[in-house]
Structure 1
């Protein structure tokens, strides 16, 4: 297809708590991706960096920061920020440059050096930001939000804490096979249940950590790939970066109190469902075509929600899908065979790129002990604060 772009290389800096700057992680990942692609840095026509708000000014201009660290060579530079969806926005920008003819080869890089504990809102007071309001007005930090979402699934769909624990058990088993994962140890359901309560009903092992790490991709036009002897590369066929459909996200409380005319019908589909739908429509595939999925398992309960949002099962059937083993390695639709955030933790601007790295290795048959046999189509999914969608579909 003319709208495909080739994934020539993928590279990562292992996740962990290394105590060093994000630039080091990003450069290591970039060099690994370039080596994987067999492309020299001087051949790259454009570099797109996914920003981190925790790296000071260099983090706000990540594209230029990584270009400088690799050695100025005249490439176009782009820096993007979309919270947890920053990596997908970077892939989208790179893809647009390739398809428009602005560059034949684009390097995409994201890296982070994360604080200990949960993420706090950055950048000062933002009363027009619904996520800032959630933190400051409601006191609903991310773990609190995850716990409320888990409670909703329990109340509406009958999910249990045992179901949530099995998501961790599944992902930890895959992470134990991934050399780039931070946590490479299998976990039992009993160990999940015995871990400390963070936001009832979720335990410590139900919630992902914050991590240091980096990921990079070398993308190119199909013509460049063929010239370089790669006639059948992994190809990116769709990138969905949609926003929600909520007419009045920030409530004007006096109006709400006195004028019912501002009330609106809820959207016909949830935000996450729309992210997947747009990706499927652009790629011309459906859930039935998938070989695997990499989803943003900020908590075990949220992974179950993604099963439904991606159309892997009907609403309320996610726990049943899990219990049947359909989302485990060897199942009908393996989910998070990388180990997911359960095994990596969040290195925010790198994670959506890392998801595409995993799809690339799986579709090439290079995933080693965690290989999904015969993988041909994969999807990634996450979402970023302030209404950033994120989904990539890759094919082989």
Structure 2
């Protein structure tokens, strides 16, 4: 049996700060995806919701919330929370149902209405919660993690603040052409470096915002797609593996896993392991990738991702960036959507949005941000805290 499934519909609600309920964003995206697929809501047999934990009980049971809003139809349902990889876990759930023969048509949907400022722990004082502990004991808001990674890159490879700013410049140019992006204005290295420092060496314009937004996919079995005469984009590989990190090497509590992994690297870093597993399942190699959506929570992290997923050797990401090879029109475009630099975080939706973008790139429908010579193989990657992450391979 083929392990591939078809992406036959994509939908998004534009990112921004709209001040509305997250359910409306998800419904907008779901209806757009259904229309693109030429299907009705009643054709959907499985709903995979990606959870948003900052939007009350409906956010914790997102699959049922969206199913109810669309109209109870008897569809199977699931809800997934995996931090920033929630959308990918929802895709994995839908894929499993299709491959098991339990459904032919699945809706995957995620949406968020995010508060302003740094994400904070949910649920008040929770001393047994690693998210609460990292804020209370480490003072480690997310930008601190990003800054530590940037400093590490500077020490290892001689990266400069100008290099990091250039990532923002590239992604802002891509995002300016994306009607779903929140920030649609080009910028310059000087403007980026003139913005306030949040966590040295990273400036305000180099750290993604928190946003409202939604994204959805219609996934089907290949047999269903072929019966309808479709030649769809395929999900050929999907990895949600956990880290292989030897806790005996260094004794730090779980809330410090990210920091520990920079002190004592495993044989293969977590992000590289995610990508390797997806490549292996899809039967492709990094050299086959034509376009990538990587998780640019900060500008420096985009460079780390490029190397960890094999687009270039360690320490070489800056040279590709400076040469324009990671821009649209370059050898390996990275974040043609504009990335989180242009969207901000709508946590449950962002891994789904990556697949929306790559599906449109692989079908030549990305309009003014279309990668030339329509690509045939793409990768989307992201990471949530505490062992969550994903890598997805799409092919035509």
Q: TM exceeds 0.5? A: yes
**Alpha-carbon deviation of 1:318?**
1.2
1:112 paired to 2:112: yes
Equivalent position of 1:302 in the other structure: 301
Please show how residues 316-327 of structure 1 align to structure 2 within 5 Å: 316-327=315-326
* TM-score normalised by length of structure 1: 0.94
**Alpha-carbon deviation of 1:245?**
1.7
Local SS of the residue matching 2:84: helix
**Alpha-carbon deviation of 1:317?**
1.2
Unpaired runs of 5+ residues, structure 1, are 255-263
Deviations 1:325-369 (A, max 9, x none): 111111110000000000000000000000000011001110001
| Alpha-carbon distance in 2 for matches of 1:62, 1:290 | 33
Equivalent position of 1:275 in the other structure: 274
| Alpha-carbon distance in 1 for matches of 2:240, 2:125 | 26
| Alpha-carbon distance in 1 for matches of 2:333, 2:5 | 25
Equivalent position of 2:23 in the other structure: 23
**Alpha-carbon deviation of 1:252?**
6.4
Distance 1:327 1:135, change over 3 A: same
**Alpha-carbon deviation of 1:135?**
2.2
Equivalent position of 1:37 in the other structure: 37
Q: Is the 2:291–2:378 contact (alpha carbons within 8 Å) kept by the matching residues of 1? A: yes
**Alpha-carbon deviation of 1:64?**
0.3
Equivalent position of 2:82 in the other structure: 82
| Alpha-carbon distance in 2 for matches of 1:79, 1:97 | 13
Q: Is the 1:162–1:189 contact (alpha carbons within 8 Å) kept by the matching residues of 2? A: yes
| Alpha-carbon distance in 1 for matches of 2:177, 2:164 | 21
Report runs of 4+ in structure 1 exceeding 6 Å deviation. 249-254
Equivalent position of 1:370 in the other structure: 369
| Alpha-carbon distance in 1 for matches of 2:44, 2:2 | 21
1:391 paired to 2:381: no
Unpaired runs of 5+ residues, structure 2, are 254-262
Distance 1:24 1:251, change over 3 A: farther
Equivalent position of 2:98 in the other structure: 98
Deviations 1:89-117 (A, max 9, x none): 00000000001000000000000000001
Please show how residues 169-248 of structure 1 align to structure 2 within 5 Å: 169-230=169-230, 232-248=231-247
**Alpha-carbon deviation of 1:120?**
1.1
**Alpha-carbon deviation of 1:246?**
2.4
CA RMSD of aligned residues (A): 1.8
**Alpha-carbon deviation of 1:126?**
5.1
**Alpha-carbon deviation of 1:229?**
2.0
Q: Is the 2:250–2:264 contact (alpha carbons within 8 Å) kept by the matching residues of 1? A: no
Q: How many residues align?
A: 386
Equivalent position of 2:334 in the other structure: 335
| Alpha-carbon distance in 2 for matches of 1:160, 1:131 | 31
Distance 1:153 1:325, change over 3 A: same
Deviations 1:135-168 (A, max 9, x none): 2211111111111111111111100000000000
Q: Is the 1:29–1:214 contact (alpha carbons within 8 Å) kept by the matching residues of 2? A: yes
**Alpha-carbon deviation of 1:125?**
4.7
| Alpha-carbon distance in 2 for matches of 1:380, 1:95 | 16
Deviations 1:280-313 (A, max 9, x none): 1111111100110001100000001001111111
**Alpha-carbon deviation of 1:221?**
0.4
